[in-house]
Structure 1
Amino acid sequence: MDIRPPARDVLLTLKASLNTAFIDGRADSSLETRPMFLRNAPKEGEKFLCALEEELKDCTSFSISVAFISLSGVTPLLQVLREAEKRNVRGRILTTDYLGFTEPAALKKLRGLKNLEVRLFRTSEARVGFHTKGYLFRHADGVDHLLLGSSNITGSALTVNQEWNVKLASAANGEFAKSAFRNFDALWNARESKALDDVLPNYEAEYKVRRPILRNAVGKDAVRQAERLNPNKMQRRFIRNIERLIEQGEKRALLISATGTGKTYAAAFAVQAVKPKRLLFVVHREQIARQAMKSFRRVLGDAYTYGVVSGTTAQKDFTPSAVFTTVQTLSRPDILQRAKAAAFDWVIIDESHRSGAESYQRIMATLEPDFWLGMTASPDRMDGFDVYALFGHNIACEIRLQEALDEDLLCPFHYFGIAEAVDLPFEERVDAIIDNADYYGYSGSCVKGLIFAKDVKEAFRLEAALNARGLRTKALSGKESINAREAAIARLVMDERESGDVHEAKQPALFEGIEVPGEKEAVPETGKLDYLITVDIFNEGVDIPEVNQVIFLRETQSSIVFIQQLGRGLRKAENKDFVVILDFIGAYDNNYLIPIALTGNRTYNKDDIRRELLSGSRVMPGAATIHFDEISRERIFKSIETAKTNSIRLLKTHFEMLRRKIGRRPQLTDFLDHASIDPTKYLRSQGCNSYEAFVAKHFPDVALKLSGDEVLDRLAGLARIGKGLREAEILLLEAAMDGCSAVLAEAKARNAQSSCRQIPDADWASAIRVLTNAFTQTRDAVMPAFMRAVFLEPNGAGDWRMHADWRKRLCDEPDFETACREYLALMRRLFEERLSGHEYRDTAFCLYEKYTYEEVCRLLNWPRNLNAQTIGGYAYDVATKTLPVFINYEKKVDAIQYADRFLSDSVLMACSKSNRSVDSVDVDRFFKRGAANAGNRIFLFVRRSKDDNEAKAFYFLGEIEAQGQPIPVSVPSSNAKPGEFNAFEVRYRLETPVRSDIYDYLRGALDGDLRTD
């Protein structure tokens, strides 16, 4: 068909993009049209899925030809495909029957979209292979985008596999685009390409025959791999820690590991390493006991003899060297005494979060093994029982959700945040729930879903409404008996082909061991269930691997509960490739907890939460994906804006949680070790200028013994540099604390011997100014709090030593030294984990790290600090010849609207301060005019909003160079005349293109996409 040629400026853009990509990588061009190499690298914010989604959002039509399509590949695209359908974007998708890999369920899902036409190329008729992977997109500007390479539409190919793809842009009349579309049209119109409705029934029949053969081949390969069973990375870490604890004489330890991550195998590998003579494994269900025995036998082989002791075993035999038993049987007094007499070296308590129950307590009070190992996914108890204390606060290993996903230990999830229409009548709301549940679907032959309602009343109301619409659901509350719950779960996990009564005696006792006084027997029910509806009784302690869809119809009030409920669907199961999570999001204050829970980032940094929310699937490990519709995203942004992430209440809560977990006053590095809140939040909290001041004020029972305000003021000085942004201060303080009489010489010697960046003299001089308090401006309003923060003094021999007052305090107050070393440990840890080896060129900055005004002045080696008002949008330091440019890219409506904007990932347009002309000294400095400015260096720092009181730092984006000439502009000003040029714009080229996820985040804010007002 005839394609309108693009405008001249678009053609120039294309030529510039080709020049950047293939001739001169330093040349400016638009990122939108620049050829790009695409791969899957989630840790670096790259997934082919995200590139595909971006094209589907912006195109006017698309044509896709891939060899294979699976439901795991279609499902994460469902939201963007539905949005394209609403915009009436037409699409053609051509796939094949090659090797019988394409899934009929995926084709049916695509067929349901009105804007899509799907055809199946019959390779059996063509007698040739078909292995294309091409995604072709038309755009309104006359430019076609093409994604070509190795990725099919499968979950792994779009997210985690090693795939090579390229993004190309071509004028629609260009030969390349014409050839691609001609070839697609030829395949689309080929005799072998069949309309889906014509061929799907036959292909589905063929698939049902071929699929078991393929699965059997995969299964045999899995068996061969299993025969060479070895511990994974996390299990090896667990084994090392267990061995270390035993060497230290510890008698108890706790393994915290997400459901489905291989706790049983981890325990077996630990037994293999430590080699206890006799072990006892305690579980809450006989079925799990037998499964555990099978796993241990696979790992340990003939090194042990094996036996099960349960209510159904006739002989309660404890003579085998590895016995697997249930808590119900073991807790019986006579059985327990026999177990005690058997003298086990190791006792392993599975699901040890239940160990506060009387039966578990009786067992642990009676048996006397050499070592207790507890295993649980959720040690934090709502009933107040301290599981951590029971196991000596010895956490041998903690395997978190994101780590488990990255290691492919869990079933991938596809999360969809859907705006809940809270103003709809109940019946219409139910219809919306059903519509979305049907559209986003599930993995497997039939739905096996859990619905978490906001309260019991709503749960039973939903049951009635859903059943009236033909679904098979059952609501459960805490009032139902354990047997009734077991029967309901058994009905849920049935396949459609199963029929007949569900007899309780034949079902696994999923809740065996939970003590519920006074419960009554329930009459068994029959028939397959689609959904179980509950409030919170399935948060923990229930193992239903078959669950393939989870629906949230309640406010997220706790990230811990969110993960517990999400985890109900994360265990792997046969014929389950992924789990769909549907979260209906209302206008709740706590919505900011959703991205925190999903990404595992518990720093509570608002800017990080926003960026990760927008990054979505890019930051998720493994094949997991995250999607939010526009309204739900806006609701979360609004919640982030109003969230109090620096509140004393939040800080106290995390302090208390960590204190209970480790059994002592947390040190600052403990917050890092246990993935808790960002410890630097404690360095400057409300009314407290140091961590010790916070603890003394809010937790005096565990506060260090310090003499008073004078000492706290000294520690406030350490807290002020506690982020560990530069190694020079750290080395100087370490040398001083070690008692060196020539601190600078010693610090330089240590730096020379290390493999870290060799610190230049200017950095050492700057660090000395910081540690002698010369850097802090005397007009600074907070200066009185830091008057005593002088760490170093001259040693009389041209070097420095610890200040006499500090030496005296260290001698007089042991806890003062403890506090000082805690800060040093935090600085060292933060520097080595985040910054060391990543410094930008010859500076102490790191790309994409965030810095405050004060930190920028310090790391640029300025003689003194300047306050924010003095700096404004930029400031120049004559001594260092450095000029940092600070951009606030989202401003108040009534603020001066400078035209700061990215033109590409390498080009920024920025406006000067008001009342500046093109002949001003600022222009000379930016454009390096004259000998005095020849060596100037300009650095770029960008943040989202100056109005966010909790996110005061700027992203460092590297060095920039002014290009061309300054452009005079008019900006609103109190003394500006109408039409007068009272400022100027500068076009800057970034030496390093902005990383794609950061660029998209900042550009979205610049274009107004993130506004929530």
Structure 2
Amino acid sequence: MSKVHLITEALIEEITKAIDKADSIYILTSFVMKSGVDILKKPLQRAVERDAEIKVCTGDYLFVTQPEALQNLTNISEKIEVRLYKSNGKSFHPKAYLFQYGDDDGSLIIGSSNMSRSAYTHGVEWNLMMNSETSIDTYEKAVREFMKLFLHEQTVPINDETIGEYKKLYDQYHRENPNLIRTWTKAEETELMIPKTQDTKTVEIVKETQENYGPISPRHAQIEALEALEIVKEEGYEKAMCVMATGLGKTYLAGFFAQDYNRILFIAHTEEILKQAKRSFQHIMPERIYGIYNGTTKEHRADTVFASIFTLANERHLNKFKENSFDLIIIDEFHHAAAKSYQRVLDYFQPDFLLGITATPDRMDGKDVYGICDGNVAYQLHFIEAIQRQWLAPFHYIGVYDETDYSQITWLGSRYDEEELLRAQLREDMAQKIFESWEKHKQTRTLGFCSSIKQANFLANYFKSKGVRATSLHSQGSEIPRAEAIKMIENDQLEIIFTVDLFNEGTDIPSLDTLLFVRPTESLTIFTQQIGRGLRLADGKKHCTIIDLIGNYRNADNKLSLLDTRTADERKKSADAIPQVPENCFADFDLDVINLINELRKKRQPRKEQLRHAYLDLKMELGRRPSYLELHLYGDSNAVEYYQEFKSYIGFLYWAEELDKHEEEVFKANEAWLKEVERTGMSKSYKMIVLSYMLSRGLDGWLSPVTPEETASYFHKYLTAKEYRKRIDFSDKQGKRLWDYDKNKVAKLIADMPMSKWSGSSKGLLTFEGGVFRPAFDVEPGHNETLYEWTKEICEYRLHRYFERKSN
């Protein structure tokens, strides 16, 4: 076969040949049809049988992809990973097939063929096929770009839950567009993809020259974080997370911590962060050997490897390393770590210690990333506290009223419809208001955050027409190169840069003293990152001015909590929704903004519905009902709120109609017991450890009577298995440590503390008489298995949450 050749017919022959010899198979297709799955079924089954890696990414644009096709694709084998790109109305047209044969050989097909029978057999299609040796750079870039799209935040895993949700949207769309569905039914493979003109928003990172901070030694928050990490290690933890505001030196913290380890893996999601981290580590430990592992460079034998997650998540590259290759693994920008790519890598390696560093946990309560670290946050310093300590610059926040009615703009699940938003934004009167607000409050150097390239260009041109030295920077080419524009604003040759998603992570321009927000806040994480761009300390800089246009968009009131020194409970109890900022900061709002925020607060969705939505989001991600502990670790809402509202997690499931008829019967008959396990006080962990022992006896024995002596060995082993459990909870009434096992002493402790006290407070559900502890309620035989599993879920959750809370 020639190195590059054109395929205009019978594409399935080339695809089948490639599948039959490939170790890795990546398919990217705009849509999937049942006929296409049928024709690929046997080749894919053969690939599964020889343990080939198979990934398929498709899209929902115009709802051409058939739900049945997705179901059939997943039915081939659970080993095939399928994800659906939620286009939110944005055109989605890729067609690519990537095959890897061993370590050094591969092929790539790119052209017009989606996954359908006609595209593979008799349709008029053009596809170009090339060997990796023709251009290894092109091939590796294709692999990287596939992985980025496959693991993009807008893709969802295909499972029974997500297929069900997609089918509802699919059916609704085709009911509203009956002519389209008749056309597709008649000629299944006809592609009716109507392009929609829009800006392409590619997130890029700009990294400037590292400032010289003098001697390389820990400072400020780094000293505190290193001390906290040492305590964590002494307590027996093997994982930890550090949350440090932008500007406090997270990468240098990681480098200082890494000095005690021999082999280190540093993982990040951008090339710029990898290169920056390598330079930082070299400043601290110049004697080490450093290597980059990404799409083009494979220096995997170095002492410290800086790896791109998009390359490392590829199974072929992952298998180049042994599971115990690294003593220490560091995940930078750890709020990305909940993504499947990171989880795959973390599941593979077995380091002595895992350290996650981030300025912004992905969700505001951080449950997803906290869960990856077993709930252990060693150190946490957000930008508000860093400002109070004078480690970051204070801010002057100006809330300017934006009279745009965002309720009339379509919300697409994660963002506003771009065309509708642009119609509201690209107006002369709006530009004039933005200019006047900026002119009134600005200092010397401004970064303006826009929602689209068109808006950035529009505002840059408008400001220039007013005599302002302005430019726009974005992913589709700019009038001034990025590095030059950054130097120009530092040297006072530019007054303002309008940008789109280029300055969210990894960017250092300490002299910036004004931020201008002319976009609705859709992501609180990104808003936090962008605020951090202006808070770095610099000579002559007294504060950062934040000029923010606030309208009735989603998150308008939530975003202000990021500036607030009050706790969440204090904010809930207060009638005032306007934030209380640190003493060295200042906040001023237009009267219309104050009225708007108070009105939005009154219309907040009831908490029960918020909890339902958070639960359903997680259920969709997992493809099944989450356990109580999973809800706590990965859910959007705080798991304790489910207890507060419904008295038990199972009570919530009953209210949300998530139980089948049998489960409803079990819940109604045993509600008192489930509430008891949820509500019983835990000044110590002892009650749940006793319950854990009872459950360890299995389905048939968990409700049998138990004695303190019988429980003692399990109780002692549980509390001494982890250093932090031993330190937190294992002492008798006199404070004497019981770390050396003495059966009689441990049994006495169990009798005095959990068994006697719990029997007395359980309202007759438990008894402790004659040295025997037993449940005093009856369970119908048909209910036992379900009740056992539910009790186990609650017990595991309560033990985890107890030690998590005590450790923090």
TM-score by length of 1: 0.40
Q: Which protein is bigger by CA-based radius of gyration? A: 1
With CA pairs under 8 Å and 6+ residues apart, which has the higher RCO, 1 or 2? 2
